[in-house]
Structure 1
């Protein structure tokens, strides 16, 4: 099972932009994610087609499991 952290921001145009981090730690906290998102905004680390990231919108951890099927 794979866990992905999805951090959603609003850019200068007010459009939602997501940054995904694969294989996130099991014990990541809300505070760690909030701090990382604040740092991304304050250091202007990423940009998007709609401009710089300006506001935290939301964050979530997505669990994904995969089952291989034998089709050959």
Structure 2
């Protein structure tokens, strides 16, 4: 079972841009996530094809289970 914290930002062109963090510490501290996203916006170090990150949209934890089967 793999979990990912996905931070979703709005770009200068109004599109969504995501930053994923694998295996986030749980329970997720919403205030810490907000502060981290604010720091990312303030640092302005990420470039996207649709412009700078301009605002926070949301954050979410994605829980994914993968089950593999041998095909021999």
Answering whether residue 9 of structure 2 is matched by residue 9 of structure 1, we say yes
- What is the distance in 2 between the residues matched to 1:47 and 1:24? 23
Question: Matches of residues 1-72 of structure 1 in structure 2 within 5 Å?
Answer: 1-72=1-72
TM-score (norm. length: structure 1)? 0.92
Name whichever structure is richer in strand by fraction: 1
Which consecutive aligned stretches of 4+ in structure 1 deviate over 2 angstroms post-superposition?
Answer: none
> How many angstroms does 1:14 deviate by?
0.8
For residues 14-33 of structure 1, what are the alpha-carbon distances to aligned partners after superposition, in whole Å with 9 as ceiling and x for unaligned? Answer: 11111111111122211111
For residues 17-71 of structure 1, what are the alpha-carbon distances to aligned partners after superposition, in whole Å with 9 as ceiling and x for unaligned? Answer: 1111111112221111111100000011212101110000111000111112121
The answer for unaligned runs of 5 or more in structure 1 is none
TM-score (norm. length: structure 2)? 0.92
Alpha-carbon RMSD across the aligned residues, in angstroms, is 1.0
